[in-house]
Structures are given as C-alpha cells and as structure tokens.
C-alpha cells in the first residue's frame, strides 16, 4: 500500500479521499489555491501545500506544481479525484515519469479511451451495443455527409468533452452548418482539443451508467447501475440506484455484457460505462468515464463497497477480494446535488442525520464560497429498503438541511423529488425540459 498520498483536488471530493486515507493508515497531502487556504480539506490532511493563486489554471490545473508538491512531500501516489486533471493523460504520464503512482488508469489506457469516438470503437469490438456515430470529423463537409447517413436529429459532441459540456442537438443540415464552427471553437477553448464527432440522437431515453472496479488480474466487479436522467443542460441533479426503469433481467444482462467487455480493454481501477436506455428497452453505450464519478456515493451506500479505498488498492496492485455474486443491490439509494447559486460566507449550517443519511461536503460555518470553482456544495444521499421509503427519507433530509449565507438549489430539489414523475419512477431525460 502507498504510505503517503497527495490529493490533487479540492472541495468535498478532497475531503472524501483524505478520510479514506486516514482509515487506511496512509498519510495525506492536500494541495490548495490561495482562495482555499482556510477550507476543510487543508485542515484535515496531514500536510498541506499551496500551489498557486485562485485561478484553477494556475493551481489545480497546473500539473508541474502538483508534481513538485508530491516530490517535496514524498508522496508515493496522487489521487486526482474527479474533474481538473483526473482524465488528463499528460498528467498521468508526468506522474509515471517522476516515479509517482497515478490513482487511475495508465496514460496508455487514457489515450485509447479518452477519445470518445475511439472508445466507442473499442467497446463495439469488445461486444457492447454502441450508438451509431462517427470518429473524429475532418470538418463541416464531412459532418454534413455523415449526418445524412446517420439521420437527423444527431448529437454534435466534443471528442474530449466532459461534465455535460461540448454537446449540441442538431435537427437539420442548416443547423449543423451554423453550429459546427462555434462548437469547434468552444471545444478548443474548454478542452484544448477542437475535434468533434457525431452520434445518433436517441430520444426519449434514460441515462444509465454502470459502475465497475477492475484489478490487474482482469477480475471485474460490476456494482450495478445508476439512473442519472434528472439533468439540466446535461448537468446531473439527482441520481439513484438501482434505476426504477431497469428490470432484474435487464440488469443481469447488462452486468454480463459489461463484465465481459472490460477485461478486453485492459482497464484497471474504478470506472463508469455510460449508456442510453431507449423506449424499446435497448442499452446503447455512449462513453466511459476513467475516474471516480461525482455520484459514486450512491453506489457505496447501496452495495457497501468503499469505491475510494478500492480505487487506491487496485492502483497499488492489490487484487479485488469480493466476487460478483457477493455484491448486494437490495434496497434503494437516492442522491441530490446541492449547488450554490451565489457567493458569500456560510453563516449557519445544519446537516441532517438519522440512519442511512449521508452528506458529502466541505462546508463548515464561516467558509467562503468563491466564484472560482464548481458550484457543488455537497451531495445529500439516503438509503432505504424500498424506493418509496427512500423518496420520503430524501424529502425529510432536504427539509432538515440548513445552509445560510448563500443561495442554493435546496428548494428546487425538494420540489423535484415531490414531482409525480419522479415519485413513480417514470421520468426520463425530458423531465427538466419544462422546469
């Protein structure tokens, strides 16, 4: 096992990883920007080191400064969390060159899977049903030709996109001509890569993702699916596991497909395969996330498997201990993302309690919410024996959660879980369109 781990992130995910390190007996190193000097993750870590000013490009996205911090503190490994450098193959390669373990897939694996068009090709070869689409496009003329072959509507997507960004729904030839150059420029600015590709727009649909853990021996654990269909502009708001739209037979079939496909691509660590579920009950592979997901806690609460610890262990070469048949997926787990809608200082904070209620956050009273980073304040997660009980528990927990000093989306989340479509589990990706 690693004796010291540097966490190259901030906020609630840095806090989550530091706590896992403490429980595993590994020393932790926090890095922070000047804006995060007084935040919780810097206080919880065994060591903390400033890596630059508030701007993410000068701190949390500055690979050289993070590597220097790891070398200066003697960290054996770096955990990137999610976002920032978590899926950056150049950073993973830089870790390898400096003799530091990267807690995530290898740079070579990232190279083949981070290109979304290439990853679909690999997964198709591995036996997964893949959404019809293209590889990286050479320009608008090729896009127009391919769109005609696929059939409108289509999705125009950034090859290196993530977090719901770099996606456009295109309904006709004229719209594609107008959108292509803008999408290319935005992709270049956001991801450093202007390459785009097309895929068939499957609609209506549900967004279903499958959580896996894989070790170096090729063993793969599939920890069930999460339903992430409550989204606004491709940004997830509520997640749950298991999905109310997936039958036991569908789940068994999907798990079998995923467990057969993942060893063929040589993946090691925690990862998530994302699918669209169409009205006919077909699953279509979209992409694979090569990191811990924001919503990993939903799966942890449902299965009892600590994904952060096992992500660290598999990176250290430790084999998975559990067998697939030992993974329990009984009950229901729901997560609401709590986001800030303004900046300011937290003046009052009350976190709900009770059995099987969890709030992953970095908030403490007096902390300053700044405009420099993601608006996520925390993730409220509940578990119950039935979905009906989990919905009631979530309503109660949302009513009990108090965050004062900044505007939040608490009231909206309470309204959403009270909607009939959510309560009865019939919602899909159209759920937020009229809200």
Instruction: Quick: pLDDT tens for 155-188.
Output: 999 987 766 677 899 999 999 999 999 999 988 8
Phi-psi region of 25 (alpha: psi -120 to 50; beta: other; left: phi over 0): left
Is the link from the previous residue into 366 a cis peptide, with omega within 30 of 0? no
Tokens of 131: 């959404």
Q: What token pair was written down for 152?
A: 């409108």
What pLDDT score does 163 carry? 64
- Active-site residue flag, 291: yes
- Report in angstroms the alpha-carbon separations of 269 from 16, 88, 109, 217, 252: 17, 16, 11, 11, 22
pLDDT of residue 380: 98
pLDDT at position 44 is 98
Q: Give the chain's residues under pLDDT 70.
A: 162-164
Q: Return the closest-CA partner of residue 379 out of 233, 226, 276.
A: 226
pLDDT at 190: 79
Rounded distance, CA 162 to CA 165, Å? 6
CA angle 330, 332, 337 (to 5 degrees): 145
Dmax (CA) of the chain:
59
Rounded to an integer, what distance in angstroms lies between the CA atom of residue 411 and that of residue 102?
A: 39
In sequence order, what E strands does 61-189 have? 77-79, 101-102, 154-158, 167-170
N-to-C CA span, the chain: 48
* pLDDT in the model for residue 189: 83
CB 297 within 8 A of CB 380: no
- Per the CB < 8 A criterion, the answer to whether 226 and 239 are in contact is yes
DSSP helix/strand/coil, 132: coil
Q: What is the pLDDT of residue 363?
A: 98
Both structure tokens of 286: 């979209």
By three-state DSSP, how is residue 31 classified? Answer: strand
- Active-site position among 226, 251, 291, 313: 291
């Amino acid at each position: 096992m690693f004796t010291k781990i540097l966490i190259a992130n901030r906020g609630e995910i840095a806090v989550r990883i530091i706590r896992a390190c403490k429980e595993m007996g590994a020393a932790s190193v926090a890095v922070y920007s000047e804006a995060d000097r007084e935040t919780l993750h810097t206080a919880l870590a065994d060591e903390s080191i400033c890596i630059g000013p508030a701007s993410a490009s000068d701190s949390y996205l500055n690979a050289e400064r993070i590597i220097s911090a790891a070398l200066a503190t003697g960290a054996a490994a770096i955990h990137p969390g999610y976002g920032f450098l978590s899926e950056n193959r150049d950073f993973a390669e830089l870790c390898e060159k400096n003799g530091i373990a990267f807690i995530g897939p290898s740079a070579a694996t990232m190279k083949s899977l981070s290109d979304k068009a290439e990853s679909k090709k690999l997964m198709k070869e591995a036996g997964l049903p893949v959404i019809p689409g293209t590889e990286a496009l050479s320009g608008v003329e090729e896009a127009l030709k391919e769109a005609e072959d696929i059939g409108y509507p289509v999705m125009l997507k950034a090859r290196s996109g993530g977090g719901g960004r770099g996606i456009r729904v295109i309904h006709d030839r004229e719209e594609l001509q107008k959108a292509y150059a803008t999408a290319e420029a935005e992709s270049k600015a956001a991801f450093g890569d202007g390459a785009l590709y097309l895929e068939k727009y499957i609609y209506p649909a549900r967004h279903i993702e499958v959580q896996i853990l894989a070790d170096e021996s090729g063993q793969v654990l599939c920890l069930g699916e999460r339903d992430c269909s409550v989204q606004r502009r491709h940004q997830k708001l509520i997640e749950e596991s298991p999905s109310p739209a997936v039958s036991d037979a569908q789940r068994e079939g999907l798990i079998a497909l995923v467990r057969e496909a993942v060893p063929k691509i040589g993946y090691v660590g925690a990862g998530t395969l994302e699918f669209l579920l169409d009205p006919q009950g077909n699953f279509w592979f979209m992409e694979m996330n090569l990191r811990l997901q924001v919503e990993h806690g939903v799966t942890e609460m449902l299965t009892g498997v600590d994904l952060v610890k096992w992500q660290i262990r598999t990176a250290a070469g430790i084999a998975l201990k559990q067998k697939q048949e030992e993974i329990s997926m009984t009950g229901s787990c729901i997560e609401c993302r709590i986001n800030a809608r303004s900046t300011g200082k937290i003046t009052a904070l009350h976190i709900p309690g009770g059995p099987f209620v969890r709030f992953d956050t970095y908030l403490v009273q007096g902390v300053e919410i700044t405009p420099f980073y993601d608006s996520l304040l925390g993730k409220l997660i509940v578990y119950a024996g039935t979905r009906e009980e989990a919905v009631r528990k979530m309503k109660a927990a949302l009513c009990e959660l108090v965050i004062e000093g900044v505007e939040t989306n608490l009231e909206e989340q309470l309204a959403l879980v009270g909607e009939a479509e959510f309560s009865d589990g019939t919602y899909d990706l159209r759920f937020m369109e009229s809200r």
